[in-house]
Amino acid sequence: MSNKKPQFSKKTLQLAQKYAKQLSQKDVIELKSDDDNDIKSDDEELNIKDDQNEQNSGQQEDEQFEEQQGEDEENNVDEEDENDEDQDDEQNEEDDEQNGDQEEENQDEQEIVEQKEEPKKQKKIKIQQQVEEEQEQEDEQNELESYQEEEQQNDQLFETDLNAIMNRINKIIEILKQKEYGKFSREELLNELKKHLCTYYGYNSDLMSHFTSMFKPAELVAFLDANDAPRPITIRVNTLRTRRKELAQTLVQRGVNLDSVGDWTKVGLVIYESKVPIGATPEYLSGHYMLQSASSFLPVLALAPQMNERILDMAAAPGGKTTYIAQLMKNSGVIFANDTSKDREKALFYNLQRMGVTNCIVTNYDGRKFPKVMKNFDRVLLDAPCTGLGIISKDPSIKAQKQMRDILKHSHLQKELILSAIDCCKKGGIIVYSTCSVSVHENEVVLQYALNNRHVKLIDTGLEVGNPGLLKFDDKKFHPSMNLARRIYPHVHNMDGFFYAKLKKINHGPIKEEVKSEVQKPVVMTKKMKKKEKQMEKLRLGEARKQQQQQQQQ
């Protein structure tokens, strides 16, 4: 709103002057006469009317004036607002221009500052990188230390866990002995025992299940402990070059603590301690003795070679048994040492020369095809290739690597080889079968297959070393003469696990199906046994056809 004074019209001013004069003449009017009063009254009436008219017109003028004044004031307010807005816009534009200039100046200043501070930043970056590298090195060291601490803690926990597992194994064995199963069944306890034995001894579940089917729980633990214990070193004296007493004296002088293996051998020595390496003495290099496990003496003793005989060693490498046969024959007769591997035959040649063997001929044939090469041997030794389940103490990798499929593969190969060994032997000749495995599938099963398919019989080995062969296993029943075979267990005999059996050939050729005795067949036939019999029949028919074809060709 504006502060201007209000403007009055001329009529209002004239009325105001008349009113002032009337007030000044008031006293004079009172002294006049009544005539004058009448005149005055008339005049006053006239004046009043005039005044009223003037007042009405004045009021109308005042109202118009006030309306104009209000409109003027509104116009003035609008004009002031517009002026204020224009001024604000101008100020904003000026401020924007100033801000833009200031921003440009600031940017220029920042660029200059950045250019100046670039080397400083680079230095800071280098310092930070160095600091980070140092921190990384410290972190790596801390991680290594923490890792080592964790490993120590884990080892301690592992030891405690192993102790807890062994305690649980012993508890389960006691429960199985007492036959107080409680809430659990026998199968559940056996499964738990298998798991604990696998974790404690490091075997795979397939191989452990095979061992649990062979041994009772307490005997199984003893067998597994024996496989982890190292076997004593044994040597065999070469009587072609020296005597046992002379060799024992010379080795004692070199600081070797030794003793005889047992009453059943005259050439074996056990070495308990030695100040010199046994495999590098002058006596070893000159062929006075052979490093050989005591259990591998047994098949040669069972073979009982005689002088001037014709003998076949079907799987001879590396030559331990071959040289022992030559030693017993005193280099008389002829020994055919065969092996399928040329690499293994290198060791065979070396040992034959070192031990002074002169009656041996080395051949390189597949043992399954050897009957086509030569026949009519007086004695045949078949130390068949196997899974090595009896020498786990020498090769602990067997625990994790060998599985049931490996056992069955070797069993199939061994069946073929034993038939070939029987075919190579003359009528009335001797065949010795041996393996360094304790598996039933590689031993009794193979012998039963030979009894079913060839005219042979099991005879006494002439040795009392070892447990008798098994007559039953799972759902299998073997020939009653199977107890003449011999089993060597590490936990019983403190030697490598071994198996050996002695066969005598009655006649040539395979057994015909009509001639096969029913005594060898089990009374109860399971589904698995029926399937196997069918497979065996197919194999027999195939072999018969092959032989007929060969006879026709001849």
Catalytic (active-site) positions: 436
Q: Is 304 annotated as a binding residue?
A: no
The shares of helix, strand and coil residues in the chain, as percent rounded to the nearest 5, are 60, 15, 25
CB-based burial of residue 550 (10 Å sphere; 0-12 exposed, 13-18 middle, 19+ buried)?
exposed
Q: Is 394 annotated as a binding residue?
A: no
Q: Is 320 annotated as a binding residue?
A: yes
Q: Residue 315: how many CB atoms within 10 A of its CB?
A: 21
Q: What is the DSSP string of 52-117?
A: HHHHHHHHHHHHHHHHHHHHHHHHHHHHHHHHHHHHHHHHHHHHHHHHHHHHHHHHHHHHHHHHHH
Q: Is 356 annotated as a binding residue?
A: no
- CB-based contacts of 28-32 (< 8 A; 24+ apart in sequence): none
Rg (CA), the chain: 61
* C-alpha dihedral, 530 to 535 to 539 to 544, nearest 10°: 40
Q: Is 319 annotated as a binding residue?
A: yes
Residue 99 in tokens: 């801000």
CB-based burial of residue 195 (10 Å sphere; 0-12 exposed, 13-18 middle, 19+ buried)?
middle
Element (H, E) at 311: strand 310-313
How far apart are the C-alpha atoms of 428 and 533, rounded to whole Å? Answer: 29
Residue 511 in tokens: 């057994």
Q: Is 383 annotated as a binding residue?
A: yes
Strands 472-473 and 476-477: antiparallel
Q: Is 318 annotated as a binding residue?
A: yes
Residue 263 in tokens: 């009453």
Q: Is 390 annotated as a binding residue?
A: no
Residues annotated within a binding site: 315-321, 339, 366, 383
Q: Which residues line the annotated binding site for S-adenosyl-L-methionine?
A: 315-321, 339, 366, 383
